[in-house]
Amino acid sequence: MKKIFFSILLISLTHSSFAFDTSVKGFIALDGINLQKIQKKPAESVIGIGVLDLKVFAEQDNVTAAIKLDLDGKLAEENNIFEEAYASYRGVYDWKFSLGKGIIRFQNLHWGAAMNTYLDGGSILGTENSWRKVSRKAYISAAYGHHNKGFIDTLAVFGDTSEIDYNEQGVAKTTTDTKKILTTYNYKNVTAFTTEKQLGVGNKFELFLTDSISATFGQIYYKNKSEDKPSWALDFGTNLENSIFEAWTDILVGFTNKSPYEKYTTFRKYEYFLQVGAELFLNEKWSLVGNSEYLYVRDQRHNVADAQYQDGSLIKSTSYKVESVIKYKLSKSAFVTMGGLYEKKIASKDGVKNLSYISGVYNANLEAYKLATSFSFWF
């Protein structure tokens, strides 16, 4: 009797089951035999996993949800295993509404040749720029348009998921190091932000001029209540793509202000970034890729004794890199790349040039080389 009862119950439930599609997509880049040399330091070889990403998509009718796992990130930190987790609704024609945690798009991000772009940490020597890929933000966004319409505009309101911890009186909690010299704010990881503490707005306008040419124009604004001025950036990019050639450019101008005890603090920082790259498809298997990037950062530091490196000095730094690889397509979604990269960083402190060491500046006035062989697979 029980069997019959359960059979009827379960079979009746199946009539209300939903159409549900899921997909798992991923990317893995393995550093084969990579040799890199920073001036005045011994050469070293890097072998292992370069990048590892996995993203799960679930889709049902007008709703899409996605979770991107940050498998090579700091998994011990709370809420850090997922870099993105959001849901999107497309029930209104031409509109897309999203809510969750993820990337705030305003730049025309493009991988370089042997390494990632400066805007996503692609440097041997390390760079001083603040406006990198804006990820791990809690956000709500609305996008209007699509490729056939000729444009897409995406507007997002966001906040950081690592928030300064305030006490009940609204005063930021701080920690002083064991030597009782340096003070830093306490942070806590949050899944949602409060606009009373911080607010960011980002916008990206993508214009599809033809089937093969597109342009992007992005703006971003961010301020939290510990900062006296808002930070902002403007970005302009172009993409050209056809069967024999692909080219990309990106220009970014940005300003950053942080309070003295925040991470990666600066009093007034201006940065200017330029990227130009191209890929030439020689045949179905082989292609040549070239990419060059330039970055100028003018960093006026705070003059606060108990904040790290904040001695009131003015740091100017110029970083540039030139890279080129030859790419071989092993299969539809597997590539081997072989090539090289040259990078140089020039920095000065209060107008004094050619210093061999500047506190708080990575590898000042050094150059670096890299010979890279890597294997990448998309699935």
Binding site for another protein (CB under 8 A): 2-3, 6-7, 10-11, 13-14, 17-19, 21, 23, 25, 27, 29, 51, 53, 55, 57, 59, 61-62, 64, 66, 68, 88, 90, 93-94, 96, 109-111, 116, 120, 146-148, 333, 335, 376, 378
Extract the runs of DSSP E, i.e. beta strands, from 61-114: 63-69, 82-89, 95-104
Rounded Cα gap, residues 299 and 301, in angstroms: 6
Q: Which is nearer to another protein, 38 or 372 (CB)?
A: 372
The strand pairing partners of 87, in sequence order, are 65, 99
Q: Which is nearer to another protein, 57 or 362 (CB)?
A: 57
Q: Which is nearer to another protein, 115 or 368 (CB)?
A: 115
CB of 109 to another protein, least distance (A): 4
Distances (CA, A) of 330 to 182, 284, 285, 325, 376: 52, 10, 7, 15, 10
Q: Which is nearer to another protein, 9 or 171 (CB)?
A: 9
Spell 258-270 as b/e; 16+ CB within 10 A means b: bbbbbeebbbebb
Joined together, the tokens standing for residue 59 give: 């889709």
> What secondary structure letter does DSSP report for 173?
P
CB of 119 to another protein, least distance (A): 9
Which residues have a Cβ under 8 Å from the Cβ of 271 and sit 6 or more positions away?
128, 129, 130, 131, 252, 253, 254, 255, 256, 295, 296, 297, 298
- Could you tell me how many helices (H) and strands (E) the chain has, helices first? 1, 20
Q: Which is nearer to another protein, 93 or 357 (CB)?
A: 93
CB of 45 to another protein, least distance (A): 23
Q: Which is nearer to another protein, 148 or 283 (CB)?
A: 148
Q: Which is nearer to another protein, 4 or 76 (CB)?
A: 4
CB of 27 to another protein, least distance (A): 6
CB atoms within 10 A of CB 293: 24
Rounded Cα gap, residues 333 and 161, in angstroms: 34
CB of 24 to another protein, least distance (A): 11
Closest C-alpha to 261, from 144, 174, 368, 151 = 174
Cβ 199 vs Cβ 160: under 8 Å: no
CB of 233 to another protein, least distance (A): 17
Q: Which is nearer to another protein, 264 or 378 (CB)?
A: 378
Cβ 349 vs Cβ 326: under 8 Å: no
Rounded Cα gap, residues 344 and 30, in angstroms: 25
CB of 272 to another protein, least distance (A): 21
CB of 49 to another protein, least distance (A): 14
SS3 172: strand
